[in-house]
Structure 1
Amino acid sequence: MKRSKSIKLVVMATTTVTIAGCSDEPTLDGRVYKTEAECVADSYVPDEVCVEAITAGKSIHKASGPRYDTVNLCNEQHGNNVCAYDSATDGSSYYTPFPAGYFLAGALTGAVTNQLIQSNVRPVYPERGSKRYYTSGGYYVGSYGGGSWRTYDDAVKTPPKPAKVQTRTSVASRGGFGSRSSSGFRGG
């Protein structure tokens, strides 16, 4: 075989492996619950994990949930009547959407530690005008029927970042809620 043909075959094989590893479909299974009672009733995770997971989700929301400088901007991104006024410990104020629920990754079905709970729970937020939900990091969380939900591994692997209050300019530069400012957009 000529050298140029063998190089082409190597490039083609590498490209195929690379493309196969870049799935645009969510693969991390879990459930989304609005309340502890909903979680307990489903029996997906132990009852005590439900309580700790929803509490952790609320804490993550407080630290990293979407924040906007006006209620109108929050409503434009998430829908009417889902945003509330809140304030941070530093005295700053903002508007934030109520989480539509809390994604609990399948890793929580066995014995868990507090750290594992923190690493496998994410609040999810509605995107206005659609039936889509996203984490505050911009990762799509979708329903796959039968109570099953999926998101991307990075949605829980990537630690939540402290929230910054968004202005109309910063929202426009990102392309709106659910869009990622980096090249790693994972919309669905």
Structure 2
Amino acid sequence: MKRSKSIKLVVMATTTVTIAGCSDEPTLDGRVYKTEAECVADSYVPDEVCVEAITAGKTIHKASGPRYDTVNLCNEQHGNNVCAYDSATDGSSYYTPFPAGYFLAGALTGAVTNQLIQSNVRPVYPERGSKRYYTSGGYYVGSYGGGSWRTYDDAVKTPPKPAKVQTRTSVASRGGFGSRSSSGYRGG
């Protein structure tokens, strides 16, 4: 009996250490800026990177930002007065929230290329009724004080998917904007 008890304790202790080592917390550091001027004033990245990064963020928003078939649905998901009418090159129209800012990953602090900028910038969007922000891919982006922000590595490693126009039914099936991410979902 003593032998099986000690084996169980070793297995339980190992499992606890393994679970503790698997954190679901964001680990990718960066900053969120609303404008180029805000980015330049902070000096987190070189000034020329600020201009290119914000421009890249706007391009990414245009291709992958959340889209809704009605302004009311957009407002329900992101808050009042943050949604605008837009249209795609195929002639379809939709409502989309304005990005609350652009997450710039810490990888941008050195010399960079345009491809590196594209893969380290993501627009972030508010979730209505909370102080939480998410990328269009559903990755949580959180403020950790002192200007520091964090998200998941996959938020920048995974290329943004082209946006689809959401309807009330598709939003309800997801549980609303950001809800997958806030319950442990980190993208998709």
TM-score by length of 1: 0.90
Name the SS of the counterpart of 2:85 in structure 1.
Answer: strand
Query: Is 1:123 equivalent to 2:146 in the alignment?
Result: no
Is residue 51 of structure 2 the alignment partner of residue 61 of structure 1? no
Q: Distance in 2 between matches of 1:182 and 1:3?
A: 43
- Does the aligned pair in 2 maintain the 1:67–1:166 contact within 8 Å? yes
1:181–1:30 Cα change, 3 Å: closer
The alignment covers a number of residue pairs equal to 188
5+ long unaligned stretches in structure 1: none
CA distance in 2, matches of 1:66, 1:18: 36
Cα distance 1:181–1:126, how it changes in 2: closer, same or farther (>3 A)?
Answer: closer
- For 2:159 and 2:59, the matched residues in 1 are separated by 13
Residue 16 of structure 1 and its aligned partner are, at CA, apart by 3.5
TM norm structure 2: 0.90
1:139 deviation in Å?
1.1
Question: Given the superposition, is the C-alpha separation of residues 3 and 187 from structure 1 closer, same or farther in structure 2, using an over 3 Å criterion?
Answer: farther
Gapped regions of structure 2 (runs ≥ 5): none
Question: How many angstroms does 1:3 deviate by?
Answer: 8.6
1:29 alignment counterpart: 29
TM superposition outliers: structure 1 runs of 4+ over 4 Å? 1-11, 181-184
Identity of aligned residues (%): 99
Shifted more, 57-66 versus 150-159: the winner is 150-159
Q: In 2, are the aligned partners of 1:83 and 1:96 still within 8 Å (CA)?
A: yes
Answer yes or no: is the 8 Å Cα contact 1:137–1:180 preserved in 2: no
Q: Tell me how far apart the structure 1 counterparts of residues 72 and 138 of structure 2 sit (CA, whole Å).
A: 20
Q: How much does 1:113 deviate? A: 1.2
Post-superposition shift, 1:42?
A: 0.5
The answer to whether the 8 Å contact 1:179/1:187 transfers is no
Give a deviation string over 1:110-159, Cα, whole Å, max 9, x none: 11111111111000001101111111111111111111111111111111
